């Protein structure tokens, strides 16, 4: 009984410390430096088997997903190295831990002015990821303290998708189309970012069902830069969908070690990219990748990566150890 009482006190104290920290961070009046002189920078952070992207333009910051449970602090450290003082916009594509867990660390260190999250209110309660409740609670407390805005769902009352401007880049949401799906991956927010004549398509972990919905709806999916859906999984990136996107560059975020349980990216997807001569940049080979868009060109200081599957990468890493 004494042990339970002690544990209860510890938990209460930890909660109080977290709430206090959220209060302090949420009321900070930080100002970002000038990151770029008009160009749009995309940083694909190497969080292992997960997703995290930091977009910088002028003095604005857009965070898309935050990384994994086992690398929870990686994105937080990357933001610090980039000189970020606050986050203007955040998009949490869905609540699976490989996309959302890093948000715990970030929210304890950075104020987020606007955060878009997917609406899963109609999903089976017992099938929800634990991070759904934890992050939901944290964001509500943080936004209560700061008066900033947490936006659940990306559809307006008339059914159209919401849009916003991030510096000189235009962000529009394309999915989820339905209000309810069987798989949590299909609730992923899909966002298209346009700067000048160049576009980037971020897809979270959408699978073939949503890809087909977008095709059937006649959505303009064309993009110069494409974030591979579901880390290049067999569940996603169908040939018809990829033909519609027709990208110049593909970004793949996956692990090169034991956390890559599914061999992402898979062989058929990589074969497609090689056949189409599409430039590939991937965290399992290059670590964190930086892309610059000047409105007319897609520029990377990183050498383009190869077309090996994730399984081949993991096997070669194992042989070298």
The residue count for the chain = 321
* Model pLDDT for residues 31-83, shown as the tens digit of each residue: 899 999 999 999 999 999 899 999 999 999 999 999 887 787 899 999 999 99
Q: What is the mean pLDDT of residues 217-232?
A: 96
Q: How far apart are CA 125 and CA 16, in angstroms?
A: 27
CA atoms within 13 A on the CB side of 111: 21
In the structure, what pLDDT confidence band is assigned to residue 169 with cuts at 50, 70 and 90?
Answer: very high
- Is residue 215 over pLDDT 90? yes
* Model pLDDT for residues 87-131, shown as the tens digit of each residue: 999 999 998 888 888 888 888 888 888 889 888 777 765 566 666
Could you tell me the pTM of the whole model? 0.89
236, 51 in Cβ contact below 8 A? no
Domain that holds residue 223: 2-320
Q: Which two tokens stand for residue 218?
A: 């006649």
In the structure, what pLDDT confidence band is assigned to residue 321 with cuts at 50, 70 and 90?
Answer: very low
Q: How far apart are CA 82 and CA 54, in angstroms?
A: 10
171, 164 in Cβ contact below 8 A? yes
In the structure, what pLDDT confidence band is assigned to residue 149 with cuts at 50, 70 and 90?
Answer: low
**Which residues lie closer than 8 Å to 311 by C-beta, 6 or more apart?**
263, 266, 267
Lowest mean pLDDT among 11-15, 68-72, 168-172: 11-15
Nearest 5°: the CA angle 226, 230, 232 is 70
Residue percentage of the chain with pLDDT more than 90: 55
Render the burial of 62-85: b for 16+ CB within 10 Å, e for the rest: bbbbbbbeebbebbbebbeebebb
Task: Give the total number of structural domains in the chain.
Answer: 1
* Model pLDDT for residues 122-132, shown as the tens digit of each residue: 776 556 666 66
Beta-sheet pairing, 198-202 with 169-175: unpaired
CATH of the domain at 69: 3.60.15.10
- Name the average pLDDT for the chain: 86
Phi, psi of 161 (to 5 degrees): -85, 145
- Is residue 140 over pLDDT 70? no
Q: Which two tokens stand for residue 204?
A: 């979270």
- Is residue 5 over pLDDT 80? no
- Is residue 293 over pLDDT 70? yes
227, 53 in Cβ contact below 8 A? yes
Q: What is the mean pLDDT of residues 175-194?
A: 94
The more confidently predicted of residues 245 and 16 is 245
3-class DSSP string for the chain: CHHHHHHHHHHHHHHHHHHHHHHHHHCCCCCCCCCCCCCEEEEECCCCCCCEEEEEECCEEEEEEECCCCCCCHHHHHHHHCCCCCEEEEEECCCCHHHHCCHHHHHCCCCEEEEEECCCCCCCHHHCCHHHHHHHHHHHHHHHHHCCEEEECCECCCCCECEEEECCEEEEEEECCCCCCCCHHHHCCEEEEEECCEEEEECCCCCHHHHHHHHHCCCCCCCCEEECHHHHCCCCCCHHHHHHHCCCEEEECCCCCCCCCCCCCCHHHHHHHHHCCCEEEEHHHHCCEEEEECCCCEEECCCCCCCCCHHHHHHHHHHHC
Q: What is the pLDDT of residue 320?
A: 52
- Is residue 295 over pLDDT 80? yes
Q: How far apart are CA 58 and CA 148, in angstroms?
A: 21
Q: What is the pLDDT of residue 216?
A: 98
The more confidently predicted of residues 28 and 51 is 51
- Is residue 191 over pLDDT 90? yes
- Is residue 26 over pLDDT 70? no
The more confidently predicted of residues 31 and 261 is 31
Q: What is the mean pLDDT of residues 226-248?
A: 96
Q: What is the pLDDT of residue 291?
A: 96
Q: What is the pLDDT of residue 277?
A: 96
């Amino acid at each position: 009984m004494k042990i339970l009482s002690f544990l209860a006190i510890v938990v209460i104290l930890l909660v109080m410390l977290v709430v206090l920290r959220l209060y302090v961070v949420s009321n900070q009046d930080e100002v970002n430096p000038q990151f770029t002189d008009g160009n749009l920078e995309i940083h694909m952070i190497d969080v292992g088997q997960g997703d995290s992207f930091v977009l910088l333009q002028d003095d604005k910051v857009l965070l898309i997903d935050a990384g994994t449970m086992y690398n929870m602090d990686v994105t937080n450290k990357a933001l610090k190295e980039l000189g970020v003082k606050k986050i203007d916009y955040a998009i949490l594509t869905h609540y699976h831990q490989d996309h959302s867990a890093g948000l715990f660390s970030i929210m304890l260190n950075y104020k987020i002015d606007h955060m878009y999250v997917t609406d899963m209110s109609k999903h089976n309660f017992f099938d929800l990821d634990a991070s759904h409740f934890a992050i939901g609670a944290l964001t509500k407390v943080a936004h209560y303290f700061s008066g900033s805005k947490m936006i659940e769902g990306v559809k307006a009352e008339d059914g159209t998708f919401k849009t916003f401007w991030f510096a000189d880049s235009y962000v529009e949401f394309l999915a989820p189309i339905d209000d309810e799906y069987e798989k949590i991956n299909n609730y992923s927010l899909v966002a298209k970012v346009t700067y000048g004549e160049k576009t980037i398509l971020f897809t979270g972990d959408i699978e073939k069902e949503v890809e087909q919905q977008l095709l059937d709806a006649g959505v303009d999916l064309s993009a110069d830069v494409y974030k591979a859906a579901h880390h290049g999984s067999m569940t996603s990136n169908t040939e018809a969908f990829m033909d519609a996107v027709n990208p110049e560059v593909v970004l793949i975020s996956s692990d090169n070690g034991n956390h890559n349980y599914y061999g992402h990216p898979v062989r058929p997807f990589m074969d497609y990219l090689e056949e189409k001569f599409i430039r590939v940049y991937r965290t399992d080979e290059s670590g964190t990748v930086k892309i610059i868009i000047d409105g007319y060109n897609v520029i990377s200081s990183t050498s383009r990566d190869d077309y090996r599957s994730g399984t081949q990468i993991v096997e070669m890493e194992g042989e070298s150890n």
